Chain A
Amino acid sequence: MTESDEEEERLYDVLVVGGGNAALCAAIAACRGGASVLVLEAAPKFYRGGNTRHTRNMRCAHDTATDTLTGPYTEDEFWTDLHQVTGGQTDEDLARHMIAESKEMLGWIAEQGVRFQPSLGGTLSLGRTNSFFLGGGRAMLNALYRTGEKLGVEVRYESELVGIDIRDGMFLAARVKRGDRTTKIRAKTFVAAAGGFEANIEWLKQYWGDTADNFLIRGTPYNRGTVLKMLLDAGAHPVGDPTQCHAVAIDARAPKFDGGIITRLDCVVFGIVVNKHAQRFYDEGEDFWPKRYAVWGRLVAAQPDQIAYILFDKNASTLFMPSLFPAIEAPTIGELAAKLGLDAAALEKTVRDFNASVRPGTFDPTMLDDCRTHALEPPKSHWARALETPPYFAYPVRPGITFTYLGTKVDRNARILMQDGKPSSNMFAAGEIMAGNVLGKGYAAGIGMTIGSVFGRIAGREAAKRANN
């Protein structure tokens, strides 16, 4: 703490840092619990809400079908799915607690003014398990902010935490920078809901080296991990592999930050993927795309210059969801190589070898079909069809980072655990900043929002209780 900082007079019951789903659920729950609440959002108003802006659904357990869900999704099934996607890297007690609490969340979230819709179009496969926000994540956020402000939650934008005063695991005050001014804000309790560090390229470089310069950040540029780092430096117990992040292959032409959903490409399984030397490097048809899309970020990150190209022909050109940038198109593989800046002879050979190895089969994108290559390394196990119908198309792809796994350890009350294993008396965490507790690895659609809402609500409720004591 700098002594010269102006100290604000008001002592808040609950100080929430962050402005996304977890933060707002915490703020609303705390306010409904009778606490005075201040929310500090580092982003300007339009960009409020971190990566919640880019979400569109949440995964909650439910015992029966509803207006917007096609069937039941039991706690056990949810647990099985979570266990599978994380490969067991989850805190079972905490995860089961979250899943149990998720049952109430659908109703609770709707009470806060958020509207749901049935899953439509391209998301039917999630129609039973995931609840879709009408209008998407920003619509959800708008509803939460409206409700919070109606209840009396104070929200300050462009307010960045630059320091925390923590003694013996107890939060005392925060230093907050807004414009040129830095003030000291005191509160009885503290809720950290400020996301991960995926937008902090320097931090990513600690684990990835200079290759991180070629990463694109799919979401908010404001998740720089400032709060996470302060907490860890102050003795919070870390959780999750700091070197890991959720990465998918997205269009290389996407902006550095905040390109969101529209830069994703679903066409890997219908073509081949080559690196800058025009060589294939992984089985494009290993499994259904929803089960494999998350491995491609890492795969492309391991290629020279962190770039790769998805190639397909006319036959495949309408089999996947459209995306923002048009595919690069050419009448021959050689001309396509020229447009991509690849060695034409090498690319022609790669395609020729691939085409020659394709075995006859019955192409069916809805199942693991029998269209595969023979004696090709790496193989393509399904949906392998020769690239022989012009025009030929390509999308350049780079690793797109969605979120990071490193966080602070928490208990069932969302209380931050310190390195000595004891819970902090007045610090709580919710959302991506603690997601590593239950999601140590992998991802399942909508689970980030579940973690945010469930632990946000718990954190707010418990913080209000603590402040009222």
Chain B
Amino acid sequence: MRTTEPATPALAEADRLMTVCNSCRYCEGLCAVFPAMEMRRSFTDGDLRYFANLCHGCGACYDDCQFAPPHEFDVNVPKVLAQLRAESYAHYAWPRATSRLFERNGLTVALAASLSVAVFVAGFAAWTDPSVLFGVHTGPGAFYRLMPHNTMVAIFGGVFLYAILALAMGLRAFWREGKGADVAAHAVAAHDAARLRYLDGGGAGCSDSDGPAPDRRRPFHHLTFYGFLLCLAATSVATLYHYLLGREAPYPWYDLPVLLGTAGGIGLLVGPIGLLREKAKRAAATRVPQLRGMEAAFIAMLFLTSLTGLALLALRETAAMGLLLAAHLGVVFGLFLTLPYGKFVHGLYRYAALARYAQERKAGRSADG
């Protein structure tokens, strides 16, 4: 039995809904949320946040529910879990004071990004001679004529390490509410996360304005996610080139960092546009309007990262390179800075929730005999 009252209205409503759902269980074949719920008779706040992060918001359980509004039981699991999911990001945020950054997240991220770009442009203008800023630079080390390599490493290494630390602390807080997971559970979770296994309500398609239809979020999410990974890979390879092989950027178009970055960049252009479009089509009943800012902000940051990166690639041998480099670095800095305080964290908590679920399933099976 629950020993304390739910801490927020969203938790209280999620607690009420899970009590309804646990008495019904008709949706147990749709996704991981309901089987996870069935392993309990009452729910702690941590359990509810775990369910919220297992939910992919497909909406199938809303369409299938005999107790959805206008029924007096008023069951809307995807909407309430979306609310709770956003609340959980703030709850786990590190340091504690940064929780408030999730309150008006769209605005926060937009401000951070704009400010970051502005500082980079202003910094380039202040520290670089106009003839250098608007000059044409080619060949290895071209970028570093505008900003010394060590300065770049210090700035980006710093913000990157901070982001990693903050993300890790949030993840740790989430993880401590569960009972851990072994390697096999992590393998299952990695597989489920990589394929977005639970995105489509057990195969019936997610809910959109015209009822269940083929889930078109999946290909665009794949483009976005794998595009992001390719871009990370491009940066990693370039770092190895720099330190191990002593080869300085920019690299020719056929070289690995450029190929990886271009492929990833295209994914990060097409994926975000598609995701925004598909999200707009989804049934209003299951969505939380206040969260659109957070979703759009992260998607826009990925899109801008790619857009400025590809523009820099296309125009790097022209006089526009200096300003484009400033813009790209500004966007990337803003992206890193806001990673722990925006929609990016959904991936970490979702993965952790899937790992916890895989572990619980195994424990449940062995307990059943």
Q: Could you tell me which A residues sit within 8 Å of B by CB distance?
A: 46, 53-54, 56, 115, 117-118, 120-122, 132, 134-139, 142, 146, 255, 258, 260-264, 318, 321-324
Bound CA–CA A146/B205 (angstroms):
13
Bound CA–CA A282/B201 (angstroms):
44
Enumerate chain A residues within 8 angstroms of B41, measured Cβ to Cβ: 318, 322
B202 touching A117, Cβ below 8 Å = yes
Enumerate chain B residues within 8 angstroms of A318, measured Cβ to Cβ: 41
A135 touching B29, Cβ below 8 Å = yes
B71 touching A142, Cβ below 8 Å = no
B204 touching A134, Cβ below 8 Å = yes
- Across the two chains, which residue of chain B brings its CB closest to A68? B29
Enumerate chain A residues within 8 angstroms of B38, measured Cβ to Cβ: 121
Of B19, B28, B64, B201, which is within 8 A of A322 by CB? B19
Enumerate chain A residues within 8 angstroms of B27, measured Cβ to Cβ: 135-136
B20 touching A262, Cβ below 8 Å = yes
Enumerate chain A residues within 8 angstroms of B253, measured Cβ to Cβ: none
Of A134, A142, A262, A322, which is within 8 A of B211 by CB? A142
A139-B63, A324-B23 known; 6 other A-B pairs, CB under 8 Å? A121-B25, A135-B64, A135-B202, A142-B64, A322-B23, A323-B23
> Is B5 an interface residue, CB under 8 A from the partner?
no
A120-B28, A260-B24, A324-B23 known; A135+B60 contact, CB < 8 A? yes
CB distance from A290 to the nearest CB of B (A): 16
Enumerate chain B residues within 8 angstroms of A138, measured Cβ to Cβ: 63-66
A54-B66, A138-B64, A142-B64 known; A258+B71 contact, CB < 8 A? yes
A137 touching B202, Cβ below 8 Å = no
A262 touching B71, Cβ below 8 Å = no
CB distance from A209 to the nearest CB of B (A): 28
Of B25, B28, B68, B211, which is within 8 A of A146 by CB? B211
Enumerate chain B residues within 8 angstroms of A56, measured Cβ to Cβ: 26
A-B contact count (CB 8 A): 85
CB distance from B70 to the nearest CB of A (A): 6
> Is B203 an interface residue, CB under 8 A from the partner?
yes
A262 touching B23, Cβ below 8 Å = yes
B203 touching A115, Cβ below 8 Å = yes
- Across the two chains, which residue of chain B brings its CB closest to A321? B23
B61 touching A135, Cβ below 8 Å = yes
B60 touching A137, Cβ below 8 Å = no
Which residues of chain B in 50-72 are interfacial with respect to chain A, using CB atoms and an 8 Å cutoff? 60-61, 63-68, 70-72
B26 touching A120, Cβ below 8 Å = no
A115-B203, A142-B211 known; A134+B68 contact, CB < 8 A? no
B20 touching A139, Cβ below 8 Å = no
> Is B35 an interface residue, CB under 8 A from the partner?
yes
Question: Is the contact region of chain B dominated by helix, strand, or loop, or is it mixed?
Answer: loop
Bound CA–CA A46/B204 (angstroms):
19
Enumerate chain B residues within 8 angstroms of A260, measured Cβ to Cβ: 24, 66-67
> Is B355 an interface residue, CB under 8 A from the partner?
no
- Across the two chains, which residue of chain A brings its CB closest to B24? A262
Bound CA–CA A19/B146 (angstroms):
71
Best-buried of B22, B27, B64, B70 by chain A (most CB within 10 Å) = B64
Contact with A along B24-51 (1 / 0, CB 8 A): 1111111000010010010000000000
Enumerate chain B residues within 8 angstroms of A132, measured Cβ to Cβ: 29
> Is B340 an interface residue, CB under 8 A from the partner?
no
Enumerate chain B residues within 8 angstroms of A264, measured Cβ to Cβ: 23
Of A46, A142, A263, A322, which is within 8 A of B70 by CB? A46
> Is B212 an interface residue, CB under 8 A from the partner?
yes
Bound CA–CA A324/B16 (angstroms):
9
- Across the two chains, which residue of chain B brings its CB closest to A146? B211
- Across the two chains, which residue of chain B brings its CB closest to A145? B211
Bound CA–CA A135/B26 (angstroms):
5
Enumerate chain A residues within 8 angstroms of B30, measured Cβ to Cβ: 134-135
Bound CA–CA A54/B41 (angstroms):
22
A142 touching B63, Cβ below 8 Å = yes
CB distance from B198 to the nearest CB of A (A): 14
Bound CA–CA A263/B24 (angstroms):
9
Of A134, A255, A322, which is within 8 A of B203 by CB? A134
Which residues of chain B in 216-246 are interfacial with respect to chain A, using CB atoms and an 8 Å cutoff? none
B63 touching A46, Cβ below 8 Å = no
Enumerate chain A residues within 8 angstroms of B64, measured Cβ to Cβ: 135-136, 138-139, 142
Enumerate chain B residues within 8 angstroms of A122, measured Cβ to Cβ: 25
CB distance from A116 to the nearest CB of B (A): 9
B22 touching A322, Cβ below 8 Å = yes
Bound CA–CA A411/B360 (angstroms):
52
Enumerate chain A residues within 8 angstroms of B201, measured Cβ to Cβ: 135
Bound CA–CA A381/B64 (angstroms):
40
CB-based closest 5 A-B pairs = A136-B26, A135-B64, A117-B29, A262-B23, A139-B64
- Across the two chains, which residue of chain A brings its CB closest to B27? A135
28 contacts between A and B (CB under 8 A): A120-B25, A120-B28, A120-B35, A121-B28, A134-B29, A134-B30, A135-B202, A135-B204, A136-B26, A138-B63, A138-B65, A138-B66, A139-B64, A142-B63, A255-B72, A258-B71, A261-B24, A261-B26, A262-B23, A262-B67, A263-B23, A318-B41, A321-B23, A322-B19, A322-B23, A324-B19, A324-B20, A324-B23
Bound CA–CA A436/B157 (angstroms):
76
Bound CA–CA A166/B13 (angstroms):
52
Bound CA–CA A19/B23 (angstroms):
26
Bound CA–CA A96/B280 (angstroms):
52
Best-buried of A115, A134, A263 by chain B (most CB within 10 Å) = A134
Bound CA–CA A255/B66 (angstroms):
14
Enumerate chain B residues within 8 angstroms of A115, measured Cβ to Cβ: 202-204
- Across the two chains, which residue of chain A brings its CB closest to B16? A324
Enumerate chain A residues within 8 angstroms of B71, measured Cβ to Cβ: 46, 258
Enumerate chain A residues within 8 angstroms of B73, measured Cβ to Cβ: 262
Best-buried of B25, B35, B72 by chain A (most CB within 10 Å) = B25
Enumerate chain A residues within 8 angstroms of B63, measured Cβ to Cβ: 135, 138-139, 142
CB distance from A358 to the nearest CB of B (A): 26
CB distance from B33 to the nearest CB of A (A): 13
A46 touching B68, Cβ below 8 Å = yes
Enumerate chain A residues within 8 angstroms of B23, measured Cβ to Cβ: 261-264, 321-324
CB distance from A104 to the nearest CB of B (A): 23
Enumerate chain A residues within 8 angstroms of B61, measured Cβ to Cβ: 135
Enumerate chain A residues within 8 angstroms of B212, measured Cβ to Cβ: 142
Bound CA–CA A142/B20 (angstroms):
21
Enumerate chain A residues within 8 angstroms of B20, measured Cβ to Cβ: 262, 324
